Structure 1
């Protein structure tokens, strides 16, 4: 086989960059969330990002997980920035949610939008809150000693 050409028998594939695999967000994913993420990528065909469909029932059947586990996996992937909901589905019309994979570029009416990689911004919450907002003092922000009486008039001072 010539260098740079892949064998058509190999089929499609998805890359897993080290930056993704070593990220705090990826390493915090549950096994079910990783399985759902991989299944979503099998439904991505190069030009359908933002329209990648996978219903909860399809995930249950394809991946051998429960409905509750599938639902938690979708929520986890969305919260950690691996997927974004583009168009909500409709149970009565039998239409699955349409997802955008944040690791892939997306075709828009204005051209090609680069991958947002929202997962890079995710940080685990600590018991005191997110690490990017540490409180300088345990009592909270300083208070203004001036009390507000709710009146816009100046107080009358005795002379």
Structure 2
């Protein structure tokens, strides 16, 4: 079998730097956003960054998702700094948005602009954690069974042993 020197038989592939894969921006993406990102990346040919097109309907069809899910995925990619809208589309002229992958450089007429890597600036929103955030008393497990209204005494809650769960036969 003859081998092609200098040519890859696999075709194009997507390089994913570890810095991106380990970033908070990437790790917090939804599965739908990751699918849309890779579909857009598959349309990048090395010279069309900033002019990559993929309509919501086309993405929904190709990826087996609803249009609303696709739209949320695009918004998520923009918010996380992985994607930027370069030229808005026009519904009446049937023209899709033109997108730029922030991880890739843009080719201009005379020179190239480096990748902006906006995803490096993204930080997750801080959320409150701890016991102060849920003051509802129902989230606490009581140490005793509730008192009966007929005057019987309460019993402490205790785990049952394995033996008492099934029927036992005496030997």
Match of 2:104 in 1: 104
For these two proteins, the number of residue pairs brought into alignment is 126
**Which of 1 and 2 has greater Rg?**
2
- Map 1:45-60 onto structure 2 (within 5 A): 45-60=45-60
2:84 aligns with 84
Counterparts of 1:25 and 1:115 in 2: how far apart (Å)?
16
Q: C-alpha distance in 1, partners of 2:4/2:58? A: 38
Residue 10 of structure 1, CA deviation: 1.1
Moved more, 109-118 or 52-61: 109-118
Which consecutive aligned stretches of 4+ in structure 1 deviate over 2 angstroms post-superposition? Answer: none
User: 1:123 offset after TM fit, Å?
Assistant: 0.1
Task: Return the alpha-carbon distance in structure 1 between the equivalents of residues 77 and 7 of structure 2.
Answer: 31
What SS does structure 2 have at the residue aligned with 1:86? strand
Matches within 5 A, 1:104-123: 104-123=104-123
Deviations 1:40-70 (A, max 9, x none): 0111001000000010001000000011100
SS for the counterpart of 1:10 is coil
Query: Hey, what does 1:38 align to over in structure 2?
Result: 38
SS in 1 for 2:60: helix
How big is the shift at 1:11?
Answer: 1.1
Cα-Cα RMSD: 1.6
5+ residue gaps, structure 2: 129-171
**Equivalent residue, structure 1, for 2:166:** none
Task: State how far apart, in whole Å, the 2-side matches of 1:51 and 1:67 are.
Answer: 21
In the alignment, structure 1 segments of 5+ residues that lack a partner are 129-159
